[in-house]
Amino acid sequence: MPDLLQQPLTWTNAAIFFAWVVVLLLVILGFVTYAIYFERKILGWMQLRIGPNRTGPLGLLQTVADVFKLLIKEDTIPRKADRELFILAPIITFIPAFVVTAVIPYSSTLISSDLNVGVLYYVALSGISTIGIVLGGWASNNKYALLGGMRSAAQMISYEIPLVISVVGVIMMTGSMNLNRIVEGQAGGFWHWNFLPQIVGFAVFVVAAVSELNRTPFDLPEAESELVAGYHVEYSGFRFAFFMLAEYVYVFAISGLTTTLFLGGWHAPFTFLDFIPGIVWFLLKFSLIVFVLIWIRGTLPRVRVDQLMGLGWRVLLPLALLNIFVTAIYMAIAM
């Protein structure tokens, strides 16, 4: 798809752009609905349970029923909460989660927006969601929610730094922050994919990404054992659904970004397989990343707060900085 943002503004282009946004939103909502279903089924399989199997054939309508239930539940706002901020927080959390997907290239032709600063665009907008989470905890006028919001701010800021720095090596090797150019630089087989020369950056990126998603073993902002439910404890109905929706949309976004930056995007692992459409390869790699995220959740226990912060500042940050220096030395020798 051509980059409509760089074309003259006409009614036709505006209609096409609007239609593309609607289609992308429906695709993402469909992913969220069935990512939850498959996560429950996979976790059930790992833990010798059955998982959803009653609502619809094979339980396929269970998540649809759960979403419908959330939408029709009573919307309650605590009497002493800051009403305006309480209402605004889920919106601030969700909108950046959806908007960052605009720069992910799904194939050589299926690109929403071919921005020269695609990596910077993703990092800048994804950080806004932290504000929504902190606002949700603050506006609830609840100590558990406030602690959850503060934890989230500390965690997401601490891990966003190594997350961004871990990508610098890829940018240095490619010479561009354009995600489409980064994928094009990985053509020619899996030995050209960035995860091999950038294995340290790849490892740091994956760990930091799991923490950014607030998923196990880094789900401390919503740890029910000590914070009841964390920053969204006072939310109900569709406002609670917005927070959960944002989390799974970020699973979509981070899986697409990992595929793009390190796993060759739409390129086949072997050149003789290039006859298979690029979107197929992208979806296979994307699905593998999603499965690994579910696998991690079903395997690892939650870490303590001091372990979380220590890992971010004492391990991941030095490794990410070391990766930049090693990449710079390698490029200087290679040139």
pLDDT below 70 — which residues of the chain? Answer: 1-9, 223-227, 335
Query: Which residues face 111 on adjacent strands?
Result: 105
Q: pLDDT at position 224, please?
A: 63
Query: Which residues face 105 on adjacent strands?
Result: 111
CB proximity list for 73: less than 8 A, separation 6 or greater: 236, 237, 238
Rounded CA-CA distance 294/271 in Å is 30
Q: With CA atoms as reference, report the closest residue to 105 among 215, 195, 186, 159.
A: 186
Q: pLDDT at position 110, please?
A: 81
Q: pLDDT at position 2, please?
A: 47
- Cα angle vertex 274, ends 268, 280, to 5°? 60
Q: What is the DSSP string of 206-240?
A: HHHHHHHTT-TTS-GGG-HHHHTTGGGTT--HHHH
Q: pLDDT at position 6, please?
A: 56
Helix axes 237-262, 62-72, angle to 10 degrees: 130
State CA 306 to chain mean position distance.
Answer: 24
